[in-house]
């Protein structure tokens, strides 16, 4: 008989749109194989119930907690961040707070062998989970203090000051709560070392980002570059702005027939950046970004900030599409420049790397073949589940 487990998901794990969903879904699938799983989900105001998208048989019971109205317009967003700065609270921690009553009602009388919390935004709920759980695990998709510190390095002075505030607030919460979990899961050895540095008393293990097995598609590359992302995520918006302003004009000058495809959720967040550029196309949210990536010549990861590892790179590896990335974009992955992908730290090098791959079929194939093999060996869900098994989860 399976033991009971609980998973708390601030972001819905299904549908599999975006890196956060893919990581959460992989963990949920694993837990369902070894436990009977209850789930706590959150829902945006007016949104669909996340439990309705979960495949049958994965969860036993669930509760969906409604979040308050949350405008993404510029003025309300700025007002929220000002309040957060004044209160010393980082983004999203306040967003998901104040729902103790609904959680207590759902958890009343239950006891779990294991509870898993996705993201660090809900860390203040740990005492509630601890009261009903033998072990509590925190799955760190990012290390928020590092994320904000890096955003501060790539933003103008006012935004940089805000991110520095949030970095300090995030670090204080991490130092408070990290040691209280039985285990922290990080996406890479790099983040594992960072979590240890923040909280030397914490137990931390590397559980890599993975994606479901995908057969390698037949190559049908169109004359386009692709960036697959959730564009509401600040580092992805910054990446689009940097690439469009600093790299795209050079690339387009040398390859006038080339198109740039931006595929993923929240396209409205990047519309002002690409306004008037007819050769840049947004798909908006799609059921599956994989076919769009697979039909492109090169996949991009032009990030200037961020934390964790990029599932967009793993998706391109699986699709057999060569990747050009900044060092931060590929951070934490066991990859080597010139073997699995091309790394470029500045705009000129990034444009040169793109031109190199567009001009050389052999170079593109060599990278994509090696990257596909790495995906098959280390970055499928099955490979990740073997790590979880070794960790005793």
Q: pLDDT tens string for the chain (393 positions)?
A: 899 999 999 999 998 887 889 999 999 999 999 999 999 999 988 888 999 999 999 999 999 999 988 777 778 888 888 888 888 889 899 999 999 999 999 999 999 999 999 999 999 999 999 999 999 999 999 999 998 998 888 777 788 888 899 999 999 999 999 999 999 999 999 999 999 999 999 999 999 999 999 999 887 778 999 999 888 888 899 999 999 999 999 999 999 999 999 998 888 888 999 888 889 999 988 888 999 999 999 999 999 987 767 899 999 999 999 999 999 999 989 999 999 999 999 999 999 999 999 999 999 999 999 999 999 999 999 999 999 999 999
What is the per-residue pLDDT for 227?
Answer: 96
- With CA atoms as reference, report the closest residue to 228 among 317, 163, 155, 345: 317
Superfamily of segment(s) 222-378: Glycogen Phosphorylase B; (3.40.50.2000)
Q: b/e string for 100-124 if b means 16 or more Cβ within 10 A?
A: eeebeebbeeeebebbbbbbbbbbe
Dist. CA 135–CA 7, nearest whole Å: 12
C-alpha dist (Å) from residue 62 to 27, 29, 44, 103, 227: 16, 15, 16, 11, 34
CATH class, range 3-207: alpha beta
List, in sequence order, every residue forming a beta bridge with 115; answer none if it has no partner.
6, 136
**What predicted TM-score, i.e. pTM, was given to this entire model?**
0.90
Looking at the chain, how many residues does it have?
393
Domain with CATH 3.40.50.2000 in the chain: 3-207, 222-378
Residues whose CB falls within 8 Å of the CB of residue 88, separated by 6 or more in sequence, listed in order: 165, 169, 172
């Amino acid at each position: 008989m399976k033991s009971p487990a609980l998973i708390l998901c601030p972001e819905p794990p299904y549908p599999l749109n975006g890196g956060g969903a893919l990581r959460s879904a992989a963990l949920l699938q694993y837990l369902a194989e070894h436990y009977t799983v209850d789930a706590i989900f959150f829902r945006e105001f007016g949104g669909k119930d996340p439990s309705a998208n979960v495949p049958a048989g994965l969860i036993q019971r669930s509760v969906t907690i409604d979040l308050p109205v949350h405008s993404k317009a510029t003025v309300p967003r700025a007002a929220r961040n000002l309040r957060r700065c004044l209160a010393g609270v980082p983004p999203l921690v306040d967003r998901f707070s104040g729902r103790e009553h609904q959680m207590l009602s759902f958890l009343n009388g239950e006891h779990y062998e294991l509870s898993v919390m996705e993201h660090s935004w809900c860390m203040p709920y740990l005492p509630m989970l601890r009261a009903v759980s033998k072990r509590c695990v925190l799955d760190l998709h990012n290390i928020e203090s590092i994320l904000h510190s890096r955003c501060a390095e790539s933003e103008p002075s006012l935004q940089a000051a805000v991110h520095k505030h949030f970095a300090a607030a995030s670090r204080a919460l991490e130092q408070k709560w990290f040691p209280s979990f039985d285990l922290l899961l990080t996406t890479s050895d790099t983040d594992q070392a960072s979590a240890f540095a923040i909280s030397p008393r914490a137990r931390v293990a590397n559980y890599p980002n993975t994606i479901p097995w995908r057969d390698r598609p037949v190559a049908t590359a169109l004359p386009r570059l692709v960036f697959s992302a959730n564009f509401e995520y600040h580092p992805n918006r910054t990446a689009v702005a940097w690439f469009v302003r600093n790299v795209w004009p050079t690339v387009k000058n040398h390859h006038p027939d080339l198109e740039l495809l931006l595929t993923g959720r929240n396209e409205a967040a990047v519309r002002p950046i690409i306004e008037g550029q007819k050769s840049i196309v947004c798909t908006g949210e799609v059921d599956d970004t994989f076919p769009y990536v697979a039909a492109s010549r090169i996949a991009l990861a032009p990030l200037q900030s961020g934390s964790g590892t990029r599932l967009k790179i793993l998706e391109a590896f699986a699709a057999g599409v060569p990747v050009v990335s900044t060092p931060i974009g590929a951070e934490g992955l066991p990859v080597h420049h010139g073997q699995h992908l091309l790394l470029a730290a500045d705009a000129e090098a990034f444009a040169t790397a793109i031109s190199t791959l567009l001009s050389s079929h052999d170079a593109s194939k060599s990278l994509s073949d090696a990257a596909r093999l790495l995906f098959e060996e280390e970055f499928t869900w099955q490979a990740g589940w073997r790590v979880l098994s070794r960790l005793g989860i």
